[in-house]
Amino acid sequence: MTVQQEFEVLRRVPFFAEIEPPKLKALAYVSERVRFDDGKIVCRQGDPGDAAYLIIEGEADIVLEDPAAGPVTVATLRANELVGEMAILTSEPRNATVRAKGGLVVLRIGKEPFMRMVREFPSMAVSIMQELAHRVDDTNNQLRAARSEINQLRAKTAANAA
Protein backbone atom coordinates (compact mmCIF):
# COMPACT_ATOMS: atom_id res chain seq x y z
CA MET A 1 0.00 0.00 0.00
CA THR A 2 1.39 3.39 -0.95
CA VAL A 3 1.48 6.42 1.34
CA GLN A 4 -1.26 7.94 -0.84
CA GLN A 5 -3.46 4.86 -0.32
CA GLU A 6 -2.83 4.94 3.43
CA PHE A 7 -3.67 8.65 3.39
CA GLU A 8 -6.99 7.85 1.66
CA VAL A 9 -7.72 5.17 4.30
CA LEU A 10 -7.01 7.62 7.14
CA ARG A 11 -9.13 10.32 5.50
CA ARG A 12 -12.23 8.08 5.62
CA VAL A 13 -11.97 7.56 9.38
CA PRO A 14 -14.00 10.01 11.48
CA PHE A 15 -11.17 10.40 14.05
CA PHE A 16 -8.94 11.89 11.35
CA ALA A 17 -11.57 13.76 9.31
CA GLU A 18 -10.51 17.28 10.27
CA ILE A 19 -6.76 16.83 10.09
CA GLU A 20 -5.11 18.92 7.38
CA PRO A 21 -4.10 16.78 4.36
CA PRO A 22 -0.34 17.47 4.64
CA LYS A 23 -0.33 16.40 8.30
CA LEU A 24 -2.45 13.35 7.55
CA LYS A 25 -0.04 12.39 4.75
CA ALA A 26 2.83 12.73 7.23
CA LEU A 27 0.96 10.44 9.62
CA ALA A 28 0.43 7.93 6.80
CA TYR A 29 4.14 8.12 5.99
CA VAL A 30 5.26 7.24 9.54
CA SER A 31 2.62 4.53 9.96
CA GLU A 32 3.14 0.90 9.05
CA ARG A 33 0.75 -1.45 7.26
CA VAL A 34 0.74 -4.84 9.03
CA ARG A 35 -1.07 -8.10 8.16
CA PHE A 36 -2.14 -10.68 10.75
CA ASP A 37 -3.40 -14.18 10.02
CA ASP A 38 -6.42 -15.60 11.83
CA GLY A 39 -5.80 -15.96 15.56
CA LYS A 40 -2.57 -13.95 15.62
CA ILE A 41 -2.09 -11.42 18.41
CA VAL A 42 -1.96 -7.74 17.45
CA CYS A 43 -1.16 -6.65 21.01
CA ARG A 44 -1.37 -8.41 24.36
CA GLN A 45 -3.05 -7.43 27.62
CA GLY A 46 -0.44 -6.09 30.05
CA ASP A 47 2.00 -4.91 27.36
CA PRO A 48 2.97 -1.23 27.20
CA GLY A 49 0.99 0.92 24.75
CA ASP A 50 3.46 1.71 22.02
CA ALA A 51 1.00 2.07 19.12
CA ALA A 52 -2.63 2.33 18.09
CA TYR A 53 -4.00 0.24 15.24
CA LEU A 54 -6.46 1.35 12.61
CA ILE A 55 -8.26 -1.62 11.09
CA ILE A 56 -8.10 -1.43 7.31
CA GLU A 57 -9.52 -4.86 6.42
CA GLY A 58 -11.00 -7.67 8.49
CA GLU A 59 -12.02 -7.94 12.11
CA ALA A 60 -10.29 -8.05 15.47
CA ASP A 61 -11.57 -9.57 18.70
CA ILE A 62 -10.98 -7.72 21.94
CA VAL A 63 -10.22 -10.36 24.55
CA LEU A 64 -9.92 -9.98 28.32
CA GLU A 65 -7.49 -12.50 29.78
CA ASP A 66 -8.64 -13.65 33.23
CA PRO A 67 -6.56 -16.30 35.04
CA ALA A 68 -9.64 -17.71 36.78
CA ALA A 69 -12.25 -17.46 34.02
CA GLY A 70 -9.97 -17.76 30.99
CA PRO A 71 -10.15 -15.53 27.91
CA VAL A 72 -13.43 -13.70 27.28
CA THR A 73 -14.16 -11.91 23.99
CA VAL A 74 -15.87 -8.64 24.87
CA ALA A 75 -16.05 -6.96 21.45
CA THR A 76 -15.26 -7.33 17.77
CA LEU A 77 -13.96 -4.32 15.84
CA ARG A 78 -14.14 -3.85 12.08
CA ALA A 79 -12.72 -1.72 9.26
CA ASN A 80 -12.12 1.96 10.06
CA GLU A 81 -12.16 1.34 13.81
CA LEU A 82 -9.25 2.21 16.05
CA VAL A 83 -7.88 -0.08 18.75
CA GLY A 84 -5.05 0.29 21.24
CA GLU A 85 -5.45 4.00 21.75
CA MET A 86 -6.43 3.70 25.43
CA ALA A 87 -2.99 2.45 26.48
CA ILE A 88 -1.40 5.36 24.62
CA LEU A 89 -3.69 7.94 26.17
CA THR A 90 -3.40 6.62 29.73
CA SER A 91 0.24 5.43 29.63
CA GLU A 92 -1.04 2.31 31.39
CA PRO A 93 -0.44 -1.26 30.23
CA ARG A 94 -2.90 -2.57 27.65
CA ASN A 95 -6.15 -3.68 29.32
CA ALA A 96 -7.06 -6.30 26.71
CA THR A 97 -5.57 -8.53 24.05
CA VAL A 98 -6.40 -7.82 20.41
CA ARG A 99 -6.57 -10.94 18.23
CA ALA A 100 -7.15 -11.21 14.48
CA LYS A 101 -10.48 -12.78 13.59
CA GLY A 102 -9.79 -14.11 10.12
CA GLY A 103 -7.27 -12.19 8.04
CA LEU A 104 -6.61 -8.72 9.40
CA VAL A 105 -4.82 -5.71 7.93
CA VAL A 106 -4.07 -2.74 10.18
CA LEU A 107 -2.24 0.53 9.99
CA ARG A 108 0.09 0.67 12.99
CA ILE A 109 0.39 4.25 14.29
CA GLY A 110 3.22 4.80 16.76
CA LYS A 111 2.59 6.49 20.09
CA GLU A 112 4.46 9.74 19.34
CA PRO A 113 2.81 10.52 15.99
CA PHE A 114 -0.58 9.57 17.43
CA MET A 115 -0.16 11.85 20.45
CA ARG A 116 1.12 14.68 18.26
CA MET A 117 -2.11 14.49 16.23
CA VAL A 118 -4.23 14.45 19.41
CA ARG A 119 -2.43 17.55 20.72
CA GLU A 120 -2.61 19.45 17.44
CA PHE A 121 -6.22 18.60 16.58
CA PRO A 122 -8.66 18.93 19.49
CA SER A 123 -11.48 17.63 17.26
CA MET A 124 -9.60 14.32 17.04
CA ALA A 125 -9.35 14.22 20.83
CA VAL A 126 -13.09 14.87 21.13
CA SER A 127 -13.87 12.09 18.62
CA ILE A 128 -11.69 9.68 20.58
CA MET A 129 -13.37 10.65 23.85
CA GLN A 130 -16.79 10.07 22.29
CA GLU A 131 -15.75 6.64 21.03
CA LEU A 132 -14.31 5.70 24.42
CA ALA A 133 -17.51 6.87 26.13
CA HIS A 134 -19.52 4.60 23.79
CA ARG A 135 -17.26 1.69 24.67
CA VAL A 136 -17.70 2.32 28.40
CA ASP A 137 -21.47 2.48 27.89
CA ASP A 138 -21.41 -0.83 25.96
CA THR A 139 -19.32 -2.43 28.71
CA ASN A 140 -21.73 -1.17 31.37
CA ASN A 141 -24.65 -2.68 29.43
CA GLN A 142 -22.81 -6.01 29.19
CA LEU A 143 -22.15 -5.91 32.95
CA ARG A 144 -25.82 -5.19 33.68
CA ALA A 145 -26.90 -8.10 31.49
CA ALA A 146 -24.37 -10.42 33.15
CA ARG A 147 -25.47 -9.32 36.63
CA SER A 148 -29.11 -9.92 35.71
CA GLU A 149 -28.26 -13.39 34.41
CA ILE A 150 -26.34 -14.20 37.60
CA ASN A 151 -29.26 -13.04 39.74
CA GLN A 152 -31.66 -15.21 37.72
CA LEU A 153 -29.38 -18.23 38.15
CA ARG A 154 -29.12 -17.59 41.89
CA ALA A 155 -32.90 -17.35 42.19
CA LYS A 156 -33.36 -20.52 40.20
CA THR A 157 -30.75 -22.35 42.32
CA ALA A 158 -32.39 -21.15 45.52
CA ALA A 159 -35.83 -22.25 44.29
CA ASN A 160 -34.48 -25.71 43.37
CA ALA A 161 -32.82 -26.06 46.78
CA ALA A 162 -36.05 -25.24 48.61
Q: What is the DSSP string of 87-117?
A: HHHH-SPPSSEEEEEEEEEEEEEEHHHHHHH
Domain range list for the chain? 3-161
**Architecture per CATH, 3-161:** Sandwich (2.60)
Per residue in 74-96, pLDDT (tens digit) is: 899 999 899 999 899 898 999 99
Per residue in 84-130, pLDDT (tens digit) is: 998 998 989 999 999 999 999 999 999 999 898 888 888 888 888 88
Q: What is the pTM of this model?
A: 0.82
